[in-house]
């Protein structure tokens, strides 16, 4: 999954260094030059993480963080030219997730971004792992280990159930075969792409049998994505 990162800094050179590093790491970047523009970009682009400079004129990074935290728990990594404990403590107390002091290593910054994103993804998935999930007429209840389409039970194997649950947990995401394997096989078992394809084929057949055709889309060269299947009237 490609992550969208909002960079907020009044220094063009700093933004450029971070932009190049994040793009090399496969991330999408949006930018803001000051605090007010940051809030506008945040509302419009809904980034997965904000890299936020503290020391900006007028509306600084701490002000931006306070505003963002009124409506969102998006991860925030603070940047500052000062290495004062009060800045670090205040930034983290009002809702920051990490703190990097200028000058910084672009490689370290990207590493910290990746750590925060992984931690956030795990936290989100953990919160949704045992929740009932649905899209269109398709639903799964992990606690009861029940999968249905329009009220008709689906007779899935444990592996097939795990794959379908992963799709419904993140219904807009294109899953690679490696991601599907990690979601379905709880132990560190390595299986071939052919095995994953076989599971997908079986799930499709069982869905088709209850009039839910072609809901799992093949994204060539990438993996698979869950579409939407509505019950027939």
Q: Give tens-digit pLDDT for 4-57.
A: 999 999 999 999 999 999 999 999 999 999 999 999 999 999 999 999 999 888
Domain that holds residue 50: 4-127
In a shared domain, residues 73 and 30: yes
- Contact yes or no for 8/53 (Cβ under 8 A): yes
Of 55-59, 109-113, 150-154, 222-226, give the lowest mean pLDDT range: 55-59
In a shared domain, residues 149 and 75: no
Residue pLDDT, tens place only, 126-158 = 555 556 788 889 999 887 889 999 999 999 888
Count how many domains the chain has.
2
Residue 101 inside a domain? The answer is yes
| CATH code for position 190 | 1.10.10.10
Q: Which among 70, 101, 127 is the end of a domain?
A: 127
- Contact yes or no for 229/207 (Cβ under 8 A): yes
209 compared with 99, residue with greater pLDDT: 209
Task: For the full predicted model, state whether its pTM sits above 0.75.
Answer: no
Residue 51 inside a domain? The answer is yes
Residue 232 inside a domain? The answer is no
Which residue from 51, 53, 48 is spatially nearest to 4, judged by alpha carbons?
Answer: 48
Indicate if the pLDDT at residue 122 is higher than 70.
Answer: no
Which residues are 219's β-sheet partners?
223
Cα separation, 18 vs 25, in Å, equals: 11
Predicted local distance difference test score (pLDDT) of residue 38: 96
Concatenating the DSSP letter of every residue in 92-105 gives HHTT-SEEEESS--
In a shared domain, residues 56 and 32: yes
Q: Which among 127, 147, 182 is the end of a domain?
A: 127
Residue 233 inside a domain? The answer is no
Residue 13 inside a domain? The answer is yes
């Amino acid at each position: 999954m490609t992550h969208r990162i909002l960079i907020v800094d009044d220094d063009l050179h700093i933004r450029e260094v971070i932009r190049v590093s994040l793009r090399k790491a496969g991330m999408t970047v949006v930018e803001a030059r000051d605090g007010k523009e940051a809030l506008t970009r945040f509302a419009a682009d809904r980034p997965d993480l904000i890299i936020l400079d503290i020391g900006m004129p007028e509306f600084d990074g701490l002000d931006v963080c306070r505003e963002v935290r009124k409506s969102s728990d998006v991860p925030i990594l603070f940047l500052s030219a000062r290495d004062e404990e009060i800045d670090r403590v205040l930034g983290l107390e009002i809702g920051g997730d990490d703190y990097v002091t200028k000058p910084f290593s672009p490689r370290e910054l990207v590493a910290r971004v990746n750590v925060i994103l992984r931690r956030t993804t795990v936290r989100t998935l953990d919160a949704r792992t045992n929740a009932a999930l649905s899209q269109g007429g398709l639903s799964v209840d992990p606690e009861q280990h029940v999968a249905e389409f329009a009220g008709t039970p689906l007779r899935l194997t444990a592996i097939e159930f795990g794959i379908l649950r992963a799709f419904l947990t993140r219904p807009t995401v294109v899953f690679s075969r490696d991601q599907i394997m990690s979601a379905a096989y709880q132990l560190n078992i390595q299986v071939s792409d052919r095995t994953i394809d076989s599971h997908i084929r079986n799930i499709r057949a069982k869905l088709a049998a209850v009039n839910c055709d072609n809901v799992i889309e093949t994204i060539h060269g990438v993996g698979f994505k869950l579409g939407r299947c509505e019950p027939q009237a």
